C-alpha cells in the first residue's frame, strides 16, 4: 500500500490536486478495506502532509494567517458533523459522492 500510495501522491503534488480521489478507492478495491476506514485514513494522512506543507510555507512567510485560521476553524467545526453524516451513508454512495468534486474539476478543465 505504501508503494501504491506514492504514485497518487506524486501525481497530486505535481498537478496541485488532492490525492483522495485515488487514495480512497485504491485500498477499497485492492485490499477490500471498508470505505469508511479508507476515507478516515485518507483524512488523517492529509492532516499529516498538510501540516508539513503549512509549516514549510509558514517558515517562508507565505501564510495568510486570518484566512488559514478561518479555514481551520471551519474544518474543526464541520469535521464531527461530516463524520457523523458519513457513517450514515453506504460505502458505495460515499465513493460516488467523493467522485463529484473530481468530476466537476474535470469538466472545468475541459471547458477551459
Read off the pLDDT of residues 15-43 as tens digits, 9 standing for 90 and up: 656 666 677 888 888 889 998 888 888 88
Average pLDDT over residues 39-64: 84
SS (H, E, C) the chain: CHHHHHHHHHHHHHHCCCCHHHHCHHHHHHCCCCHHHHHHHHHHHHHHHHHHHHHHHHHCCCCCHHHHHHHHHHHHHHHHHHHHHHHCCCHHHHHHHHHHHHHHHHHHHHHC
Share of the chain above pLDDT 70, in %: 85
Number of domains in the chain: 1
Domain range spanning residue 34?
Answer: 2-111
Inform me whether the pLDDT recorded for 103 exceeds 80: yes
pTM: 0.64
Amino acid at each position: 500500500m505504501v508503494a501504491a500510495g506514492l504514485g497518487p501522491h506524486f501525481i497530486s503534488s505535481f498537478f496541485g490536486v488532492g490525492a483522495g480521489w485515488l487514495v480512497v478507492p485504491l485500498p477499497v478495491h485492492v485490499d477490500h478495506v471498508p470505505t469508511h476506514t479508507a476515507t478516515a485514513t485518507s483524512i488523517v494522512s492529509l492532516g499529516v502532509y498538510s501540516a508539513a506543507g503549512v509549516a514549510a510555507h509558514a517558515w517562508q512567510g507565505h501564510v495568510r494567517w486570518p484566512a488559514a485560521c478561518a479555514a481551520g476553524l471551519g474544518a474543526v467545526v464541520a469535521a464531527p458533523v461530516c463524520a457523523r453524516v458519513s457513517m450514515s451513508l453506504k460505502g458505495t454512495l460515499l465513493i460516488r459522492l467523493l467522485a463529484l468534486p473530481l468530476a466537476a474539476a474535470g469538466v472545468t478543465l475541459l471547458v477551459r
